[in-house]
Structure 1
């Protein structure tokens, strides 16, 4: 690997492609939060449903090279969970769930990408939000941590998962600077994943690292303008996978900004989009070989504004969860109350 994180000549690192064109499917599926007292069985039920959807995605309208799910197909999401609850809800990677998905990936010879709450023995007590990329041979090709959570937006509540930003120094020390903005180089293209919205600089960072296919996910919606603009400004194929309408147990609406799953081309053009809020798949053919022939890094001019970014102070500093781990979203809000640099 080069000493530079960003190539100096507009190029980027790749590995040879196994085919000229690939078929990608984004699966719009339900989000069912498991009940803590029945977590094992409900995770199994959600997993089995996910496996059924993989079968449908892989066989409907021909084979697929990549199948993508949203953030929480196995565990679901609930703002009511405590840290102790999440330790029971989260999966291990590798674990029984990834093994089952890996068997499907191997059966169909495709990549499968999905998110989940996860626990890791290297990070005791932390709850992680990880997107896993499983290869067509059934191996775990990569695991991407969520980059950051938005803070100071929800009244009296904060998300308690640990992101890269929350433990930035420790994460960098353990995994290296290159892993902070990870791009996975595969034989179907350079893949990046994110569940963050409304921060175009992050999408640009993936492009500068050589991402060709930006796999974005959301729960309860994302703004199509944000997603399309990211595709256009960075000349990247881009997916957005959102949840479908979900018949959830507990205090949740069945439809919370459901639908909108889509695939966009490198000019921001719509290649396919879900036509309802129900469970469905959207798909597109990506001519990855011809795309790669002429593609270069984005043409930008940081000499004009790089010093502004250097001087900018985030509203909340990094590393706030290196030593403190709030028990739930409400205690997290109290913890962050006096941590803002912006007052």
Structure 2
């Protein structure tokens, strides 16, 4: 099949129902309702005869999300498998509409009992799951999911190091996935680009209860990730929360599509349920990449030495004992803060003392 060089990417910013924690039957209904709404919006952005949409991105936690502080056993209750009966619904929609769909689910996996993962994945127009990306960052403060680095040796032995930053090489370009807070760690987008990504899909669930500066900086980070990697970037955030302790508009929304120079080609302003789409021109991108740009001259060997000496989050830190609650990873975070101070990298703040 020849490559498709010109098409549209769509971002879906849906309403999202919190799934039931205790009632298994209701939980199934909630998950199916979330998927049904996504599928309805997929129908919308691919209808009316003037759509050139071939690629669709949806938010993090948009299918089986739950927003409260829970232990790992409670989290596992609301998780599912990827692939599984729920991804099959998305697969049928992808086949029906002949599109690629990126989605996110909380996943359990037979290879890692007693754990759950934050999993973003890409479904192809043939219904197959082409790539899976288990979120690598932000379990030190948000939810107690396991990440590949936490079980690094076992993960790499089973799937290979290339599974950490997977890229789907398709007839509409090379597609990689970045999940929510991973955007704030440039290495995630950079490593995905280094594996060939031309289009980065950012599946996110950014809240509105951050400071104005935080919301502004998320937008700036998307510009930076697109520009520094010469990648198109399409970000989908949650539109409205239903049935949760948090407010309906606790998402700041602002789903956006970025050109590979970082500029915004289309965006939503604020929360609320909506969709946007924007153009992709792979030939323009490939032409730009044939000229000097940052990744071509990256000093990888130089930077690697600095990373090796940094007292950061170690691989296999939770290989023996699964993460049981967010307190486990927060304790690790505080250990690293103290370690940097002991090494003289950081200096502790001093309390204000009035004479």
TM bracket, shorter-chain basis: 0.7 to 0.9
Displacement, 1:109?
0.4
TM-score (norm 1): 0.86
Residues matched between the structures, number: 321
Counterpart for residue 210 of structure 1? 196
Within the candidate set 315, 328, 331, 2:325 is matched to 328
> Gaps spanning 5+ residues in structure 2: where?
208-214, 342-355
Does the residue aligned with 1:26 lie in a helix, a strand or coil?
Answer: strand
Counterpart for residue 172 of structure 1? 156
**Is 1:266–2:255 an aligned residue pair?**
no
Within the candidate set 245, 248, 255, 1:254 is matched to 248
Within the candidate set 102, 115, 126, 1:137 is matched to 126
Q: Which moved more, 1:158-167 or 1:187-196?
A: 158-167
* Structure 1: distance between partners of 2:328 and 2:226: 37
Within the candidate set 244, 256, 263, 2:239 is matched to 244
> Gaps spanning 5+ residues in structure 1: where?
1-15
Within the candidate set 61, 64, 85, 1:96 is matched to 85
* Structure 2: distance between partners of 1:326 and 1:140: 27
RMSD after superposition: 2.2
Please list, as runs of the form range in 1=range in 2, the aligned pairs for 1:73-222 lying within 5 A after superposition: 73-149=62-138, 151=140, 154=141, 158-195=142-179, 196-221=182-207
Q: Which moved more, 1:57-66 or 1:28-37?
A: 57-66
**Is 1:317–2:314 an aligned residue pair?**
yes
CA contact (8 A) 1:117 1:128 kept: yes
Q: Which has the larger radius of gyration?
A: 2
Displacement, 1:30?
2.5
TM-score (norm 2): 0.83
* Structure 2: distance between partners of 1:169 and 1:144: 17
CA contact (8 A) 2:139 2:146 kept: no
Deviations 1:96-124 (A, max 9, x none): 11111111000000001101101111221
Q: Which moved more, 1:292-301 or 1:217-226?
A: 292-301
Counterpart for residue 23 of structure 1? 8
Q: Which moved more, 1:34-43 or 1:333-342?
A: 333-342
More helix by share: 2
Q: Which moved more, 1:250-259 or 1:178-187?
A: 250-259
